[in-house]
Amino acid sequence: MNNLGEIKSHISAIGQTRQITNAMYLISASKMRSTIKKIDYNVKYMERLRSTMKDILLHTDDLSGYHYIRHSKDIKNTLVIVITGDKGMCGGYNNNVISLALEKFAQCNNHGLKVGVIGIVGEEYFINHGIKPDFIWRGVIQNPILYNARQIAARIIEEYNSGNVDDVHVVYTRYKNSVVQTAEALRILPIEIGDYDDVSIEYQYNAAMNFEPSPGSVFSRLVPQYLIALIFNMLVQSSTSEYAARMNSMQTSTSNADDMLDSLRFEYNRRRQLDITSEIAEIAATSITVSGNADD
């Protein structure tokens, strides 16, 4: 920048950008705090539900009639659901999810692959790279609610029950704290007994438990509720992670803008001081010249 006008214009532009990034930081922080509450409530519900499901599995000798339990290692068709954001400007949040999803796709070369996408960013990426999603859910991630989780779970169960898919995975982002969010892939169907190794049993007993009409029927009724809670948890975790990533990104951008403003203001004041000094020197030189001419 050659003159004070250019520096002043640049300061104004960066100042306006800083206002935007700071506003986005405050909005993301507020939304992140509201979605964290949903995580806590849903986790408690899932703990109780998974404990009941493990209780049934441990006290049932024959699991052959359990529809949602894995009975064969042969996989013909896999459904991979990818949860991304609807917007950018959130650091590496979307890139991390998409990269993990592509790795998951590569593992399905030997059998059929179906792709489901939640989030505009993921939808546009896959379409632009020649991967046409089989299922698209729009308007979900910005406001994760149970209704949307039920709709997604219903479609998954329909595909699984009809035999169109026999393996279902979800790629999402797990929220750990406001600084750390990690992309993860989780198999949600079929269910394996090892999935409940981390679940503690509420009551320890050895007697046979009677389930009406049967343990298999009760378990089959619990699985859809479990899937709804699990998908809702993934939506909320991903949404919270997106807000946290955007909050951190906007905080960094605001901090960088502050540094640039400080540097430009320093440069502006330095140039201005030089101009003032130069003008004073010129006035002094002119005064001396005029004075000398007057003496002559």
Residue for token digits 């960013």?
121
pLDDT digits (tens, 9 = 90+) for 129-164: 999 999 999 989 888 888 999 999 999 999 999 989
Over 90: is that where the pLDDT of 102 sits? Answer: yes
Query: In 3D, which of 48, 63, 43, 44 has the Cα closest to residue 193?
Result: 63
Over 90: is that where the pLDDT of 53 sits? Answer: no
Query: What is the DSSP code (8-state) at residue 200?
Result: P
Over 60: is that where the pLDDT of 295 sits? Answer: no
What is the mean predicted confidence (pLDDT) over 172-176?
A: 93
Residue type at 106 in one-letter notation: A
Over 60: is that where the pLDDT of 237 sits? Answer: yes
The DSSP bridge partners found for residue 184 are 172
Q: Quick one: what percent of the chain has pLDDT higher than 90?
A: 42
SS3 169: strand
CATH 1.10.645.10 for domain 44-193+209-246: no
Lowest-confidence range among 9-18, 100-109, 197-206?
Answer: 197-206
The pair of structure tokens assigned to 25 is: 């930081």
**For residues 164 and 113, what is the distance between their CA atoms, to the nearest angstrom?**
10
**For residues 24 and 176, what is the distance between their CA atoms, to the nearest angstrom?**
21
- Higher-confidence residue of 96 and 6: namely 96
Q: Provide DSSP, 7-36.
A: HHHHHHHHHHHHHHHHHHHHHHHHHHHHHH
Rounded CA Rg of the chain: 30
Q: What is the pLDDT of residue 158?
A: 93
Q: Provide DSSP, 227-255.
A: HHHHHHHHHHHHHHHHHHHHHHHHHHHHH
Over 70: is that where the pLDDT of 29 sits? Answer: yes
**For residues 203 and 186, what is the distance between their CA atoms, to the nearest angstrom?**
28
Over 60: is that where the pLDDT of 1 sits? Answer: no
Query: In 3D, which of 242, 240, 219, 238 has the Cα closest to residue 230?
Result: 238
**pLDDT band for position 273 (cuts 50, 70, 90):** confident
**pLDDT band for position 218 (cuts 50, 70, 90):** confident
Backbone angles phi, psi at 48, to 5 degrees: -70, -40
For 72-150, where are the E strands, in sequence order?
77-83, 112-118, 135-137
Q: CB–CB of 165/149 below 8 Å?
A: no
- Higher-confidence residue of 204 and 93: namely 93
- Higher-confidence residue of 284 and 211: namely 284
- Strand 167-175 with 135-137, pairing: unpaired
Number of residues assigned to the chain: 296
The pair of structure tokens assigned to 225 is: 């509720």
Q: What is the pLDDT of residue 38?
A: 80
Over 70: is that where the pLDDT of 296 sits? Answer: no
What is the mean predicted confidence (pLDDT) over 165-180?
A: 92
What is the mean predicted confidence (pLDDT) over 197-219?
A: 69
Q: What is the pLDDT of residue 196?
A: 77
**For residues 172 and 127, what is the distance between their CA atoms, to the nearest angstrom?**
19
Over 80: is that where the pLDDT of 40 sits? Answer: no
Helix (H) or strand (E) holding 172: strand 167-175
- Strand 167-175 with 181-189, pairing: antiparallel
Q: What is the pLDDT of residue 62?
A: 66
Lowest-confidence range among 3-7, 82-86, 90-94, 252-256?
Answer: 3-7
